[in-house]
Chain A
Amino acid sequence: MKPRRAPNSRARRLRRLIDALVTLQALLAIRRYRRAVRASASARSAEDSRVIRSRSKPEVKPLKTFAWAWLGLLALLAFTVGSAFVDLGTANTAVNLLVSVIMMLLLMTLFMHESKARRLTQLASAAGLLWVVLMIGLSLADYLTRVHIPAPWS
């Protein structure tokens, strides 16, 4: 059996350094692990906390949002009325309707209730609009392409 050499101070310091590094690594690993657990827990509980919040109290928007929306709507109204006094030819109607669409989207997105069915309700209103566009569009396919054939006696 080999005789055990007495640990000299250099070897002792080295050993202590290695121990410290190992401990540090372990500590860092533990911290990483804990952080990961916390993160996944909070990711899970984002959903849960929404549910818990909605189970304890419904979500409300701040009043400021509504004030800005109101001012925005009135500004859009002023803009659309004002634009009517500028002669833009056919673009006048386009601008007016565009403003109407923006007002509509503003109302709809601001106050659409955040629920699981949100995509579905968006689809429902989009379908309604799209179908009106279809009705107007295909009807215009007739009216815009009619060739006027005058009566023989005129």
Chain B
Amino acid sequence: MSAIDAGIVPQPKPESLAPSFYSGKQTLRGWLFTRDHKRIAILYTLSVTLFFFLGGAAAAMIRYDLIVPSGELPTEVYNKAFTFHGVVMVWFFLLPSIPVTLGNFLLPIMIGAKDLAFPRINLFSWYLFVGGGAFVVAALWAGGVDTGWTFYTPYSTMFSNTNVYLAIIGVFVTGFSTIFTGLNFIVTTHTMRTPGMTWMRLPLFVWGLYAVSLVMVLATPVLAMTLALVGLERVVGVGVFDPSLGGDPLLFQHLFWFYSHPAVYMMILPAMGLASEIISCFANRRVFGYKFMVYSMLAIAVIGFMVWGHHMFVSGMSVYAVMVFSLLSFLVAVPSAIKIFNWTATLRKGDIRFTAPMLYALGFVGLFLLGGLTGLFLAAPALDEFLHDTYFVIAHFHYVMVGGSVMAYLGGIHFWWPKVTGRMYSERLAKFAAILMFVGFNVTFFPQYLLGYRGMPRRYHSYLPQFQELNVISTGGAVLLAISYTLPVLYLLWSLKYGKKAPHNPWDARGLEWQTSSPPPKENFLHPPVPREAYAYDKPAP
């Protein structure tokens, strides 16, 4: 395949002679005590990938159990498997993934700064993340947890005999990792933009990180205290969620979902930022409606805090509250829809190159659209009455989180791989993996919409015989999906040693990060960069 087919544009400029950030301290100490945001990003990438495969193993157990109606696994094991899958995937993969890997690496470079505002706090965040993960793995080692990742009371506070305490401590500790990262990103974006980098020249990925950081700092402390309340109630035996005292188990749900709904917007906002970067580059067009893209991300961040009750439509909550939350949930779909229209408009009349990152980004747009639309189904209380706690919900959130966030994350990893590692990966294998992922994903999760619609409940290790066909298809798709996730690990690692050396701007993209070498030097730039307007694809690259 020629370089042009691979989307690589020949660069006339000579390579920079500055030593990259990899040279310098090469010892273990040099990495574990680093303050360099780029090295911390790589530490995070390793941890996050590890947790992804741990959570994936739990997913494999779930799909294996569901091949037969009676369930291949015993109930207790299945319950622990879906709990572990949820806890690990939500808190140790999806929420951190894009911000702590690509965000940590790129945010300072994209705004022209030398590092984040608080590099030591950044490193401390990584240690908190790994520490929290250790507690969760300890909970698994000690026999697992079976409450579901949502820890609903009174089961989690009074009746579960599993290691709830260890799991809660793990999530509590990791929560602070998130809070400090968000704090760092907000302060950095406000105070460390290079002269000339005004707010409206920022790449949309930076805006996405800013929006997600706002949510991180406002929502995560609520989770921390709520889980602490659950832990204390378990230890002391009484608490505010205790119905025998007149307390309210639903209070836990209100507090939990006040965090957990914005949490899902934390998962999607950076992915939306990534999509804008990749699509504009490979359509060779400015992003359509830049300002609306910015405002819609901020609107999603803010309105996303007002919709949590849609997780509680059938919980016994007041019907008037149900109506209020339903209305607000429909409202929050509007900014997301605006973004879909704008991505589509960006593609129109573009000079499109179907590289691997572009395939991932296009997959993101389509699958996020499907997932988002089914969210509207669930926002209608009359429908949710029947769809709540069925596989319809599972399909919905996997479409937005996996078809959405994970695809965007992989697109971003491929897009910036040359920048971070200085190597090009195999474009042919990457395209194959992307297409296999898209196919495998749909084969896995589309049947789940049908299963849910037909009444199959979630979180049960067994099911009625009429659901078997679709379940087997879904598990088959999961096998394809597993292969498509493993392939990138293999060819990306391979490229580290054998990949072609990357020029500083292999994709002919715009943005400050493409003006420095691949990989960048420790200070990010040899000369202070001069920002221009964002997405200047109608002008040649500087």
A138 touches B306 (CB 8 A): yes
Contact A141 B218, CB 8 Å, known A120-B190, A134-B305, A134-B306: no
Q: Does B222 belong to the interface (CB within 8 Å)? A: yes
Interface residues of B in 180-235 (CB under 8 A from A): 190-191, 218, 222
Question: How long is the Cα–Cα vector from A138 to B254 in the complex, in angstroms?
Answer: 9
Interface residues of A in 90-145 (CB under 8 A from B): 117, 120, 127-128, 131, 134-135, 138-139, 141-145
Provide the residues of chain A in CB contact with B318, threshold 8 Å. 141-147
Contact of A141 among B222, B258, B321 (CB under 8 A): B321
Question: How long is the Cα–Cα vector from A58 to B258 in the complex, in angstroms?
Answer: 43
A141 touches B324 (CB 8 A): yes
A72 to chain B, nearest CB (A): 31
Interface residues of B in 249-298 (CB under 8 A from A): 250-251, 254-255, 258
A139 touches B254 (CB 8 A): yes
Question: How long is the Cα–Cα vector from A143 to B247 in the complex, in angstroms?
Answer: 12
18 additional contacts (CB under 8 A) given A134-B305, A139-B258: A120-B190, A134-B306, A135-B222, A138-B308, A138-B321, A138-B325, A139-B251, A141-B318, A141-B321, A142-B250, A142-B254, A142-B317, A143-B318, A145-B318, A145-B319, A146-B317, A146-B318, A147-B319
Contact of A131 among B218, B317, B324 (CB under 8 A): B218
Contact of B321 among A131, A134, A135, A145 (CB under 8 A): A145
Most buried by B among A134, A135, A144, A147: A135
Question: How long is the Cα–Cα vector from A128 to B254 in the complex, in angstroms?
Answer: 18
B321 touches A142 (CB 8 A): yes
A149 to chain B, nearest CB (A): 10
Which chain B residue has the least Cβ–Cβ distance from A127? B218
Provide the residues of chain B in CB contact with A146, threshold 8 Å. 317-318
Provide the residues of chain B in CB contact with A127, threshold 8 Å. 218
A145 touches B320 (CB 8 A): yes
Q: Does B309 belong to the interface (CB within 8 Å)? A: yes
Contact bitstring B294-315, A, C-beta under 8 A = 1, else 0: 0000000000011011000000
Provide the residues of chain A in CB contact with B258, threshold 8 Å. 135, 139
Question: How long is the Cα–Cα vector from A13 to B318 in the complex, in angstroms?
Answer: 99
Question: How long is the Cα–Cα vector from A97 to B322 in the complex, in angstroms?
Answer: 30
A138 touches B309 (CB 8 A): yes
A126 to chain B, nearest CB (A): 12
A5 to chain B, nearest CB (A): 72
Which chain B residue has the least Cβ–Cβ distance from A128? B218
What are 12 pairs between A and B in contact, CB < 8 Å? A117-B190, A127-B218, A135-B255, A135-B258, A138-B306, A138-B324, A138-B325, A139-B251, A139-B258, A144-B318, A145-B318, A146-B318
B247 to chain A, nearest CB (A): 12
Contact bitstring A38-69, B, C-beta under 8 A = 1, else 0: 00000000000000000000000000000000
A77 to chain B, nearest CB (A): 27
B228 to chain A, nearest CB (A): 16
Most buried by B among A117, A120, A145: A145
Question: How long is the Cα–Cα vector from A139 to B305 in the complex, in angstroms?
Answer: 12
A142 touches B190 (CB 8 A): no
B275 to chain A, nearest CB (A): 27
B305 touches A142 (CB 8 A): no
Provide the residues of chain B in CB contact with A139, threshold 8 Å. 251, 254, 258
Question: How long is the Cα–Cα vector from A142 to B323 in the complex, in angstroms?
Answer: 10
B218 touches A142 (CB 8 A): no
Contact of A142 among B191, B222, B306, B309 (CB under 8 A): B309
Provide the residues of chain A in CB contact with B317, threshold 8 Å. 142, 146
B117 to chain A, nearest CB (A): 12
B299 to chain A, nearest CB (A): 15
Contact A131 B305, CB 8 Å, known A120-B190, A139-B254, A142-B254: yes
Question: How long is the Cα–Cα vector from A143 to B309 in the complex, in angstroms?
Answer: 12
A73 to chain B, nearest CB (A): 27
Question: How long is the Cα–Cα vector from A117 to B191 in the complex, in angstroms?
Answer: 9
A141 touches B190 (CB 8 A): no
Provide the residues of chain A in CB contact with B306, threshold 8 Å. 134, 138
Question: How long is the Cα–Cα vector from A139 to B251 in the complex, in angstroms?
Answer: 8
Question: How long is the Cα–Cα vector from A128 to B319 in the complex, in angstroms?
Answer: 29
Most buried by B among A117, A127, A143: A143
Provide the residues of chain A in CB contact with B218, threshold 8 Å. 127-128, 131
Interface residues of B in 436-475 (CB under 8 A from A): none
B205 to chain A, nearest CB (A): 22
Contact of B320 among A131, A135, A141 (CB under 8 A): A141
Question: How long is the Cα–Cα vector from A131 to B301 in the complex, in angstroms?
Answer: 12
Provide the residues of chain B in CB contact with A131, threshold 8 Å. 218, 305
Interface residues of B in 12-65 (CB under 8 A from A): none
Which chain B residue has the least Cβ–Cβ distance from A120? B190
B494 to chain A, nearest CB (A): 46
Provide the residues of chain A in CB contact with B251, threshold 8 Å. 139
Question: How long is the Cα–Cα vector from A138 to B312 in the complex, in angstroms?
Answer: 13
Question: How long is the Cα–Cα vector from A112 to B324 in the complex, in angstroms?
Answer: 38
Which chain B residue has the least Cβ–Cβ distance from A144? B318
Question: How long is the Cα–Cα vector from A147 to B324 in the complex, in angstroms?
Answer: 16
Which chain A residue has the least Cβ–Cβ distance from B307? A138
A33 to chain B, nearest CB (A): 36
Provide the residues of chain A in CB contact with B191, threshold 8 Å. 117
Question: How long is the Cα–Cα vector from A127 to B186 in the complex, in angstroms?
Answer: 14
Question: How long is the Cα–Cα vector from A66 to B317 in the complex, in angstroms?
Answer: 49
Interface residues of B in 137-192 (CB under 8 A from A): 190-191
B481 to chain A, nearest CB (A): 37
Interface residues of B in 300-354 (CB under 8 A from A): 305-306, 308-309, 317-321, 324-325
Question: How long is the Cα–Cα vector from A138 to B309 in the complex, in angstroms?
Answer: 9
